[in-house]
Amino acid sequence: MDPKLRAASVIDRRIGDLVALSHDLHAHPETSFEEHRSATAVASMLDGFEVTMGAYGMPTAFSARAGSGELVVAICAEYDALPDVGHACGHNVISAAAVGAGLALAEIADEVGLTVLVLGTPGEEGGGGKVLMLERGAFDGAHAAMMVHPWPVDRLAGQCLAVSHFDVAFSGREAHASAAPWEGVNALDAMTVAQVGIGLLRQQLHPGDQVHGVVLEGGVAANIIPEKVRGRFMCRATTLPDLQRLDQRVRACFEAGAHATGATVSFEECSPVYSHMQSDAPLLAAYRANAEALGRRFTLDDEGAPLPTFSTDMANVSLAVPTIHPLIGLHTGGAVNHQHAFAAATVTPSGDVAVRDGATALAWTAIDAATQPSLREHLLA
């Protein structure tokens, strides 16, 4: 039987298990680097793989390998959820599709000269799990890396922005807000000055630059001058050099807040910096052909519609290994990623179809990489 037909038959045979995995992850969301149950659930489905749990010094990462072919294709499974909104970025669908592709490829890997590597990659939502895994050798020897990511519509890629994630803390001095406010140093005022500075800075931001954040701790009572204030912020830009420029200007706003109020300011990095992405064009073309064979359409790409913007630690992988990160559409009723309604959409019939189609398109693309001479030579070069 044709390898693609065999791969599709494996996915069809296991689709009930794959959908159950997606729904199970959705029902038990775990945030970055806390995905102990999720990592075990995903890895336990990889029958016939050599699985290493706690891989690369990360308790919730795993590595699973099958086949012995020369061409090594890594398929990434993300399974961390977001605070409050759960799987509102669809990582449950990502994991189930990755497992389905892995199971399908394991049955034909040796026949087509392929080694399939399924990597459980924790902490994508601001933790930089793939960056850490890349630095520790998880992608060494891989000739290609791929995954699909849920989105409200099918797109071949997005404009993946480089991003820094950091906490900022102001320290002042508490005092009675009525009896002796002059004795205090108001850390919340320092944060307010900084946020006003960032708001004014936005007038001069380059296209593609973004700044956003939240105040995590803003004081304890209205009649106490706030002594400790803490926030979490993100800077995004189109390239790493642009990000470095933006990051310096934004941090200067926080330093200005400290200078204006007499507070002190400190910064703590929440994760490694995420880079911009470079999708591999030949590999992406193969994915498109396979997705279209399943009935997917990329109308917005053909029309030249603006690319969606987001950030991912898969981008860092793309600078080291030929990589694709296409967006697989599901019916969301107008909801977008990081909304409760989007999380709900990932476990509807449309979300379940995305599991099947994502698994199949990834598996077929890996088969093309192994069997199409020009694509195989490109990746092995």
- Between CA 40 and CA 150 the distance in angstroms is 22
Note down the domain range covering 371: 3-160+276-380
- Tell me the per-residue pLDDT of 299-344, one tens digit each, with 9 for 90 and over: 999 999 999 999 999 999 999 999 999 999 999 999 999 999 999 9
- Tell me the per-residue pLDDT of 69-78, one tens digit each, with 9 for 90 and over: 999 999 999 9
User: What count of other Cβ atoms lies within 10 Å of the Cβ of residue 2?
Assistant: 9
- Tell me the per-residue pLDDT of 57-96, one tens digit each, with 9 for 90 and over: 999 999 999 999 999 999 999 999 999 999 999 999 999 9
Residues 42 and 136 in one domain: yes
User: What count of other Cβ atoms lies within 10 Å of the Cβ of residue 166?
Assistant: 20
Q: How many domains does the chain have?
A: 2
User: What count of other Cβ atoms lies within 10 Å of the Cβ of residue 168?
Assistant: 26
Residues 175 and 143 in one domain: no
- Residue 90 corresponds to which tokens in the numbers above? 């669809």
**C-alpha distance from residue 197 to each of 219, 243, 294, 379 (Å):** 21, 18, 50, 47
Residues 48 and 181 in one domain: no
- Tell me the per-residue pLDDT of 238-280, one tens digit each, with 9 for 90 and over: 999 999 999 999 999 999 999 999 999 999 999 999 999 999 9
- Which residues have CB under 8 Å from 224's CB, separation 6+? 174, 175, 176, 177
Q: Is the pLDDT of residue 1 over 80?
A: no
Residues 113 and 218 in one domain: no
Single out the residue of 231, 248, 223 nearest to residue 195, CA to CA. 231
Residues 106 and 199 in one domain: no
User: Position 286: which residue type?
Assistant: A
Single out the residue of 289, 288, 294 nearest to residue 156, CA to CA. 288
SS3 assignment, position 107: coil
- Between CA 51 and CA 31 the distance in angstroms is 22
If phi over 0 gives left and psi between -120 and 50 gives alpha, with beta otherwise, what is residue 121?
Answer: beta
User: What count of other Cβ atoms lies within 10 Å of the Cβ of residue 189?
Assistant: 20
CB 75 within 8 A of CB 139: no
Residues 40 and 144 in one domain: yes
Residues 372 and 298 in one domain: yes
CB 105 within 8 A of CB 73: yes
User: Across residues 24-43, what is the average pLDDT?
Assistant: 98
Residues 22 and 80 in one domain: yes
Single out the residue of 119, 120, 105, 97 nearest to residue 15, CA to CA. 97
pTM, two decimal places: 0.94
